[in-house]
Amino acid sequence: MPELPEVEHLRTTLEEELLGATIEEVVLGRHNVTARSDRRQARTGRGDAAPSLHHDLLLQAEVSELVRHGKQMAMVARDGRVLVVQLGMSGRMVFQPRPPGPDDVHAHVAWRIKPTARRRRRSSRLAWLVFRDPRRFGGLTALPAVDDLAARWDCLGPDALVTAQDRLVGQLRPLRRQAKAALLDQAVLAGVGNIYADEALFRSGVHPMQLLTRLSETKLVSLVAALQATLQAAVDSGGSTLRDYVDAKERSGDFQSYHLVYGRAGQPCPQCGRSLEGSVVAGRTTVRCPSCQRLVHNRR
DNA sequence: CTGCTCCCCTGGGAGC
DNA sequence: TGCTCCCAGGGGAGCA
């Protein structure tokens, strides 16, 4: 499940191979892969698409930058075109030596990469970059200019990894919401999904249903600190691999072995030994320790 | 403003 | 062994 750490790790592995490279060919497996943000066009599924779609998908572009905000990543071309990548839950960007075959129904877009001279020697294994997404919760969004990317990302909260701690605390402090719901809301802060929300709540001893306005300043700060430390540790481990996630060179992450509560309902709490409890909070499967994470009713 | 619920989609696990 | 059923997940829409 790609959340911020997985996307950030992917971004850096793509950066190694794509910066300065040119996209020489774009092959569409499913041209409504961009339909999430624009449902009016291209609803016909697999097959040939209009030439402008290939242009939107960065045909003939030189990749000048790979940027990330929260769980979204964008490939920026030197001529200003932008392609936003959202992995959803099963999306991958993977290098491979050949273009995907016609029976490869989950390969939605493939880009043939002309490497820079410096990288040419090992280019054969990395000749094609493929966007693959079996569950199709992910998608690609083409934007005409970098300004449009800024406008898009202004709708999101500050990035949960790179933003100063006190600013994230400021985002959460006034909200009359359950802690977990706020953490998962991309408009509050960008990048946190179900795994890292549960991990951060456990590590700071905050109940997922804790009303933020009743949380002491100290606890609020420790929640944000735990969140940022967990995200950073996960980035350093190459992310968490549960079922699907691998990076562009098909390496899995290691952070899943450091999950303290996520996916461990019924197992003993690593801190106190009591059985971890599963429930649903903010519409998501949630695991917490009934004694380490208690509701508090302070007034601020 | 907030929280629900539903929907999208498919692989994989559980249960029979 | 093979079948069906259910569920996970991010994000957006619609409604109370």
Residue A73 (CA) to nucleotide C6 (C1'), in angstroms, measures 32
Cβ–Cβ under 8 Å, residues A25 and A59:
yes
The values of phi and psi at residue A134, to 5°, are -55, -45
Beta-carbon contacts of A166 under 8 Å, excluding residues fewer than 6 positions away, are none
pLDDT digits (tens, 9 = 90+) for A44-70: 344 445 668 888 899 999 999 999 999
- The reported pLDDT for the residue numbered A293 is 95
Residue A300 (CA) to nucleotide B8 (C1'), in angstroms, measures 41
Residues of A with a known catalytic role = 2-3, 71, 284
Can you list the residues of chain A whose pLDDT is less than 70?
1, 31, 34-51, 120-123, 240-248, 250, 252, 254, 257, 299-300
Residue A62 (CA) to nucleotide B5 (C1'), in angstroms, measures 44
- The reported pLDDT for the residue numbered A288 is 92
Which chain C nucleotides are covered by protein, judged by CB under 7 A?
7-12
- The reported pLDDT for the residue numbered A291 is 94
- The reported pLDDT for the residue numbered A259 is 83
Can you tell me the distance from the alpha carbon of A168 to that of A275, in angstroms, rounded to the nearest whole number? Answer: 31
Written as one letter, the residue type at A196 is: Y
Two tokens at A125? 């294994």
- The reported pLDDT for the residue numbered A35 is 45
Beta-carbon contacts of A291 under 8 Å, excluding residues fewer than 6 positions away, are A269, A272, A274
- The reported pLDDT for the residue numbered A51 is 64
Q: Among residues A264, A260, A246, A199, which one has the least CA distance to residue A7?
A: A246
Q: Where does residue A205 fall: left (phi above 0), alpha (psi -120 to 50 degrees), or beta otherwise?
A: left
